[in-house]
Amino acid sequence: MSSATPSLPRLVFTDLDGTLLDHDSYEWQPAVPWLERLRHAGVAVIPVTSKTRAELMPLRRELGLKDTPFIAENGAVIGLPPAWQHARLDRDPNFVDGLAIKTPGIDISFLRTRLGVMRERLGVRFRSMGELSIDEIMSLTGLSEPQARLARVREGCEPLIWDDTEMALVDFRQALEADGLCLLRGGRFWHAMGQLDKGDGVRWLVERYEALRGRRPLTLGLGDGPNDVPLLEAVDRAVLIPGHHGHTVNLGNAHQYHARQPGPTGWAEGLDYWWGDELPTPFDEQ
């Protein structure tokens, strides 16, 4: 459905939970044919997620995305593989598994301190990820114990379970914003962090791509939650996937497709809609 030429470079930016990964089972099998097709076409698939870097490292390998960048913790952490590193700009990065790690947000210890101050000052009730037991995280998310432990290794974004009224939430959000922080609605949690979002990470990576390659790519974004709106409004083509969260998601992107199916099935449906007639399949050249 896009008028772009097949030769135009492309990037896919995708949320994970409830989008590329099934909300309940975390499976992605329905998306495998398109993941293969994108790899065959040389299109990087870039995770943009509330997950931590620790969670993403093994998952990137399982998904076949270890050579692509990623945006973790809703934009607070950006990982750059060697092909995305700049000789001058990344001379002194934090290298982990060959990755240059960028942390444009604020430090997690500072964030948790400020959240504690806010809770005491406003008298509001919430539980943060750092306060939850491993069993509680497993129960809330359906993650295994090892995965739940990785979910607690946070660097710049703290998930919250809100246990107070909607009116108290409004006051809490306003107090955070006055303190230079923000509150984003995810699929399962609220996310407290610095004043940045998934869209900031997307724009940063598009600019890095253009600086390295000399061409601006056509971008496609996929997501299902309210915290994906900045991602979906920062790309050329958007796919909104029906979520299990029950929250209304409104997009301002002029080029948006609303998938009928949830999770990875809807993910593949969105790729079919925008690029199905434009990208070759691995069998086209055999």
Question: Which candidate, 28, 27, 77, 22, places its Cα nearest to that of 48?
Answer: 77
Question: Which candidate, 57, 63, 67, places its Cα nearest to that of 31?
Answer: 63
- Give the CA-trace dihedral at 55, 56, 61, 66, to 10 degrees: -150
Question: Which candidate, 43, 60, 63, places its Cα nearest to that of 52?
Answer: 60
179 is annotated as an active-site residue: no
CA distances from 268 to 32, 50, 89, 235 (A): 9, 21, 35, 18
Task: Let me know if 154 is exposed, middle or buried by CB neighbors in 10 A (0-12, 13-18, 19+).
Answer: buried
Both tokens of residue 216?
């601006």
Both tokens of residue 128?
């943060």
Residue type, 10: R
What whole-number distance in Å separates Cα of residue 148 and Cα of residue 55?
Answer: 9
Angle between the N-to-C axes of helices 263-275 and 32-40, in degrees from 0 to 180, rounded to the nearest 10: 40
Question: Which candidate, 264, 220, 223, 238, places its Cα nearest to that of 20?
Answer: 264
**Catalytic pick among 15, 17, 22, 197:** 15
Question: Beta strand pairing status for 44-47 and 10-14?
Answer: parallel
Residues carrying an active site annotation: 15
